[in-house]
Amino acid sequence: MALIIDGKKVSSAVKEDVKKSVEELKKQGVNPCLAVIIVGNNPASRTYVNNKKKACEETGIISKEIALDEGTSTEQLLEIIEKLNLDRDVNGILCQLPVPGHIDESKVISAISPDKDVDAFHAVNVGKLLQGVQSFQPCTPAGIIKMLDYYNIGIEGKNCVIIGRSNIVGKPMSMLLLQKNGTVTIAHSKTKNLKEITKTADILVAAVGRANFVTADMVKDGAVVIDVGINRNEDGKLCGDVLFDEVEKKASYITPVPGGVGPMTVSMLLENTVTAAKIQNNLK
């Protein structure tokens, strides 16, 4: 039976550290502030934005919400981002994705100043990640590394298999695992013999976006299984990419959904906001 990796617990520990850092910054006259842009009325986006605002409040970070109509154009959005880029009271900027289809998402990502890009999506920050010199950690993958560290799960020399190659999860995850000296394989929808590959994984990260995709026969005995997926099953219940009840019997460690990777993503965003405030004020 696997040990459950408690994302809420690790996330609370990160938030406590963030809170202390914010208090220190305030003593030096710096009030870390995160601007969160939301366009339209996507209910999932609204929930994510509310969670981020709540987490800011818990840790003393000022959160500034910019809620825009569904009909906002790319140009209007870019103008708002430019104002936030220039606003010295704003340290971090994020635009909740996805934006409505008529908005050019790549222009939005490129418009956010790399120094305030707390999601680490800007090409400059992606390039730095590739070079291993990043200031901002890609939130979801960095949250996963934090959880592994917290549970003393070593990465060096381990076979790490990631299912999924998105810019948000799969690709940056591969870079962070590589930085930690894991031997990394990335699988995707065109991968042949997926099961043979996943069965070699000491650490298996599922970022597919398909309910209960990873079954026990895809998992090696004693593997560490990290479930990034946020899906709804046929009953409308929240579930991950991993068939938890089966896989937990085989894994050594496993993250639940909810309560695993999700809370970590938000905590890492807070950490990045503190980092941004420090960099912008030449503080360590």
The one-letter amino acid at 42: N
Two tokens, residue 3: 């040990």
Task: Mark whether 117 is an active-site residue.
Answer: no
Is residue 192 close enough to count as binding ligand NDP by CB under 6 A? no
- CA-CA distance, 263 to 252, in Å (whole number)? 21
CA 162 centroid distance within chain: 15
Shortest approach of ligand NDP to residue 31 CB, angstroms? Answer: 27
Is residue 112 close enough to count as binding ligand NDP by CB under 6 A? no
Nearest residue to ligand NDP by CB is 166
Residues pairing with 205 in the sheet: 162, 226
Task: Mark whether 107 is an active-site residue.
Answer: no
Stretch that binds ligand NDP, among 50-58, 67-75, 123-131, 181-189 (CB under 6 A): 181-189
Task: Determine which residue in the list 21, 96, 134, 265 makes contact with ligand NDP, applying CB under 6 A.
Answer: 265
Shortest approach of ligand NDP to residue 168 CB, angstroms? Answer: 5
Stretch that binds ligand NDP, among 25-33, 63-71, 183-191, 242-250 (CB under 6 A): 183-191
Is residue 228 close enough to count as binding ligand NDP by CB under 6 A? yes
Shortest approach of ligand NDP to residue 141 CB, angstroms? Answer: 9
Is residue 269 close enough to count as binding ligand NDP by CB under 6 A? no
> With contacts defined by CB under 6 A, how many residues of the chain interact with ligand NDP?
24
255 touches 5 (CB < 8 A): yes
Task: Mark whether 27 is an active-site residue.
Answer: no
Within 60-162, residue ranges assigned H as helices are 74-86, 105-111, 123-131, 139-150
56 touches 34 (CB < 8 A): yes
Shortest approach of ligand NDP to residue 89 CB, angstroms? Answer: 28
Task: Determine which residue in the list 25, 37, 162, 208 makes contact with ligand NDP, applying CB under 6 A.
Answer: 208
Q: Among 253, 265, 261, 280, which residue's Cα sits nearest to residue 1? A: 253
CB-nearer residue toward ligand NDP: 80 or 129: 129
Query: How far are the Cα atoms of 1, 103, 111, 118 from residue 122, in angstroms, in the given order?
Result: 40, 17, 8, 9
- CA-CA distance, 225 to 173, in Å (whole number)? 14
**Interacting residues of 197 by C-beta distance below 8 A, sequence separation 6+:** 161, 185, 187, 191
Shortest approach of ligand NDP to residue 276 CB, angstroms? Answer: 20
Phi-psi region of 72 (alpha: psi -120 to 50; beta: other; left: phi over 0): beta
Contact set with ligand NDP (CB under 6 A): 140, 163-166, 168-170, 187-191, 194, 207-209, 228-231, 261-262, 265
Active site residues: 52, 96, 119
